[in-house]
Structure 1
Amino acid sequence: MTLHAVRLLGFADTPRVAARFGLDRDDTSSLLEDFRADGWVTTSEFAGTAGWSLTDRGRAADERLLADELAATGARETVVQVHERFVPLNARFQDTVTRWQLRPIGGNSFAANDHTDFRWDDRVIASLRSVGRRLGGLEDDLVRVLPRFTGYARRYDAAMARVVAGQRQWVDGVEVDSCHLVWIQLHEDLLATLGLERGDGR
């Protein structure tokens, strides 16, 4: 789970890696150093923050471990079925986030949404809530076979509550556990678990 946490987070310091699956921080730190020695992870600094990220070797190692997990648990069929249900929901979510970021005006299809049209934003928020309500069922099916999928729906709902309260950065912000951040981590988790690549139409 330490290696997989690095993959899902993309770039994170040791406390965040440990927190992703509720792991012991000291054990996580030790494992990360072992993984660095194996060439599976590397450290770098971005915007004044140091963190861990996967190497290509680490990504391959994570995929082997996930494949072993699927074989041991017999969970592949369930994850495949959930992913198939997720794909059209993902398309709807991505369209909704685009409408949050852009609001066509005056013939400009790519005009930035300045969030002054409250009716527009209210419709987008309603769509985000509608999509979010579907996550619970997907997560329930996943957790029955792979408990590590626990928490996505709760995190999304928590971000959604912030959005409804007027905190717009919780839609797509990268500095908070936003709806978009939760969503892309779930997407990555599904793809990684099934050994699929992002951007291949799935």
Structure 2
Amino acid sequence: MTNRQDERPDNKVERVVRKYDLGDLGRELERRWTGEGRERQSLRDLAHYFNRRVLESAMDEAGVVTLQGELENIYELLTDDDVTEGARTQARNRLEREGIDVDELSSDFVSHYAIHTYLREYRDAEYEAGDDENQREKSVETIQRLTSRLSAVTRRNVENLRSTDRLDIGPVDVIADVQVVCQECGRQEDPIDLIERGGCRCHVDE
């Protein structure tokens, strides 16, 4: 009998789980997303949680000893847009001195889009929700599907040009970044973050 999981398309999250020997992390992500036995977590929270586990595994493999809270601080230095370049460079240099390839590590971090695709398409995860939440989830799925399509089309065209020597670039990855701009406050929001939060910060935080 063929294992259904073996018939599924290649998935980055699953590849990273195997690469870093993260065991049953996929099942844990599913429980956290569906709210099984706990408060449900957002896709962005799950992406950060996943990436911290990847960083932790890489540091453990390299024999890096950390103090309490240091792992979270290093992750923030590597990924937060508000971190100064100098602080980010110091964090990268420290990891590289420990024998960690930071470029490879960073390329293994995943987005919340990737987490959503993994949970819905790879693990067939679902959760019970009310009508309003169901509609929000359908909207997230539509945006995710179109964003994934845009990424796939862009990557295919770039790689076709690269393979025929019409474009001078190394191996590529593609990130499609769609933003929603609130005309009242001028904030730019990731659409999935916006939907999961239930509104712009200028309304929700009031």
Same fold flag (TM > 0.5):
no
Normalised to the residue count of structure 1, the TM-score between the two structures is 0.30
Structure (1 or 2) with the greater helix fraction? 1
Normalised to the residue count of structure 2, the TM-score between the two structures is 0.30
